[in-house]
Amino acid sequence: MNLRKLYYLMLVFSLLFFYTGCSDNSTDTPVAVDESKVLVEYLEGTDGGFINTAAPATISAFDVWTNINTGANQYVIDIRSAADYANGHIAGSVNVLLKDIVTHYEANNLSSKTVVAIACYSGQGAGYATTLLRLLGYSNVKDLKWGMCSWNDATASVWKDAIENKRASQFVTTNTPKAAAGNLPKLNTGKKTGAEILRARIDAMLAAGAFDDVKITSDDVYASLSSYYIVNYWKADHYNLGHIDGAMQYTPASAAAGISSDLLLGTYLKTLPTDKKIAVYCYTGTTSAHMAAYLKVLGYDAKTVLYGVNAMAYDMMPTAKFVPETDIKDYELVK
């Protein structure tokens, strides 16, 4: 009798195991991936990532010129229009459309170069491109500081024309607090890993207008200040000297000083709105171009204010002024 009971018990357990297994297999659904969180954590890594350790990644005209003359393992990409490139460019540079910057880098094995310098008109479009490549892990890429404006007076018009003081009287010293923390943007690339989501985001951005999609002028911002969540990407003491009315101060990272960026997951990244345009401005437009590219990758509707405060209140600038007399070199242009 005991053996018969034991037999039936074993049979019941076997059937339960079989049906439970069938039920689990038939109702399995993919686990939803929080793409935004996965991407941010992937990009920040353990040290804050590129934005916290190396941005903005720039190289001076002098260093590019020195590398050319010493035969250094350097590669120069010029992302200006074909017509402007043909009218005068850095010797040995290669003209590449910004939308093709990643595929060109990878097809030509540019990770084998000591440095890859990207030149544009002002240094801002190249800052955008540099960020995308750096986020992909290509750490030898640098943005030519001041762009081709630093190379020769013949290619310096955009920066010389950008210097303005027309907003100086409109700057305020009133502190505007950051918004309360909210959520990250929602991403739907269909990918699962940080690397896959990143590549999908960058491919989409380059195909959809690239730098043209993130740049705005200070006139655009002042035409409707309330339409933007304005990020003053300066140190706090410089913010207190004067800033755009309504702008909120966010501190850039300083690896040398051990200061983390205010735009990290563990600091104030989530205070940025997901339902409003974000206008980031800095001194020159270069650091803000790096940051706008980064935020755009994360899914924010981020914009960079062209030429920064150099184009708004040049005379009050505490640092990082474009000085034509010293910043424009007389290096050779070739055709």
Q: What is the pLDDT of residues 259-309, one digit of tens each?
A: 999 999 999 999 999 999 999 999 999 999 999 999 999 999 999 999 999
**pLDDT 10s digits, 192-251:** 999 999 999 999 999 999 899 999 999 999 999 999 999 999 999 999 999 999 999 999
Radius of gyration of the chain (CA): 25
Token output for 201: 């985001």
The residue assigned the tokens 């923390």 is 181
Which residues on adjacent β-strands are paired with residue 305?
A: 216
- Residue 137 and residue 143: Cα distance in Å, rounded? 15
pLDDT category of residue 89 using cuts at 50, 70 and 90: very high
Distance of CA 279 to the CA centre of its chain: 13
Query: Taking each helix axis from N to C terminus, what angle separates 286-298 and 194-207, rounded to the nearest 10 degrees?
Result: 120
Which residues on adjacent β-strands are paired with residue 157?
A: none
φ, ψ (nearest 5 deg) of residue 298: -75, -10
pLDDT category of residue 256 using cuts at 50, 70 and 90: confident
Say if CB 80 and CB 101 are below 8 A apart.
Answer: no
Token output for 145: 């500081």
Say if CB 227 and CB 277 are below 8 A apart.
Answer: yes
Token output for 33: 């991936």
List domains and CATH numbers for the chain.
36-159 (3.40.250.10), 168-316 (3.40.250.10)
**pLDDT 10s digits, 4-57:** 554 444 444 444 444 444 444 444 555 678 999 999 999 999 899 999 999 999
Output the pTM of the full model: 0.90
